[in-house]
Amino acid sequence: MNFRRIRILVLLGLLLAALTLTWLEQNMARSWNAPLEVELTPINGDGSSAARATIAALKVSDFDDINAFLERETARYGVRVAPAIHLSLLPESQEVPPPPPRNGSVLATVAWSLKLRVWAYRNSGHWLPQLGRIKLFVLYHAPRDGEALAHSLGLQKGLIGVVHAFADPRQREQNNLVIAHELLHTLGATDKYGPGGFPVFPDGVADPASGPDAPQSAAEIMAGRYVNAAGRLTMPASLEQCVIGAKTAREINLDAVFARRYAAGD
């Protein structure tokens, strides 16, 4: 066997191992047999004193409404896991994650995704990969009038979320809404909004049975907004105004869990 064939076999073996680990990791995270293991690492996203103060004051309890939301919504689909998540607040990271490519080409996106996964491993504080553990990196920024935050993201491969949040205690509940949205992305949930940020009917509205033109008072979590009685696109005040819709439930494997338990008579 020549060197070229050996190299091909080695590469194929590495690819198979990576695919197997990804499949195993996703199955562990989406089994809903135990609380989701989540590690949250805060980062000063703009070097501001406001972000520094916010990070210094962070407590695990600041994220309790994410757990309350997931407990409430997963219970509607037959999942009885309490708590729904086990969140660990890690020390502040002095490094920022690599930014996504601006051109959006497939090759550049794949290269960036691999780079982000390597970066996340280096900043995890673990020697070995922690399979099934969701890694959230929250970059805090001082609020500035008329200036929007960079787009947050969640990757299913690697179970990595990068969230841009406001360094303002008054924004805590909406920050947690964005964190929950990206957390569900890591489990396979897709966005449910279209052009202009408007929810896509029926999967992106909290109550699709009311019809496509009916005003809503809550948002599907993966749409992130709802159209109110005045016809305005509105961001919920907190996760109490959000639900997990049927399509999102399928994407994150809640319906499969319900089917298994129903079949077992549990």
Classify residue 208: in a domain, yes or no.
no
17 compared with 126, residue with greater pLDDT: 126
**What's the rounded Cα separation, in Å, for the pair 25 and 96?**
24
Residue pLDDT, tens place only, 162-194: 999 999 999 999 999 999 999 999 999 999 999
Q: How many CB atoms lie within 10 A of CB 233?
A: 14
Give the integer Cα–Cα distance in Å for 201 and 209: 10
Does residue 241 lie in a domain region?
A: no
Grade residue 262 by pLDDT with cuts at 50, 70 and 90: very low
Q: What is the CATH number of the domain that holds 83?
A: 3.40.390
Tell me the two tokens of residue 109. Answer: 């996106």
Structural domain includes residue 5: no
Whose CA is closest to 244, among 177, 194, 197, 195? 177
Taking the C-alpha atoms of residue 172 and residue 166, their distance in angstroms, rounded to an integer, is: 8
Kindly state whether residue 209 falls inside one of the protein's structural domains. Answer: no
User: Helices marked H in the chain — which ranges?
Assistant: 3-29, 49-57, 64-75, 106-122, 172-186, 246-251, 254-263
Relative to beta strand 160-166, strand 219-220 is unpaired
Give helix 172-186 / helix 64-75 axis angle, nearest 10°: 50
Which pLDDT tens digit goes with each residue over 123-167?
877 666 666 789 999 999 999 887 889 999 999 988 999 999 999
Reduced to 3 states, what is the DSSP secondary structure of residue 15?
helix
Range list of β-strands (E), 131-183 = 133-141, 153-155, 160-166
- With the CA atoms of 70, 42, 225 and 206 taken in that order, what torsion angle do they form, in degrees rounded to the nearest 10? -10
The predicted pLDDT at position 111 comes to 86
What is the mean pLDDT of the segment spanning 46-72? Answer: 97
Number of separate domains in the chain: 1
Domain membership flag for residue 70: yes
Residue 149 lies inside a defined structural domain of this protein:
yes
Element (H, E) at 39: strand 36-44
What's this model's pTM, rounded to 2 decimal places? Answer: 0.88
- Res. 217: pLDDT tops 70: yes
Per DSSP, 181 falls in state H
Residue 206 is given by DSSP the state S
Of the candidates 199, 206, 176, 190, the residue with the CA atom closest to the CA atom of residue 248? 190
Q: Kindly tell me the sign of the dihedral angle through the C-alpha atoms of 203, 204, 209, 214.
A: negative
In a domain, 145, yes or no: yes
Instruction: Please say whether the beta carbons of 255 and 249 come within 8 A.
Output: yes
Structural domain includes residue 250: no
Domain limits at 88? 25-188
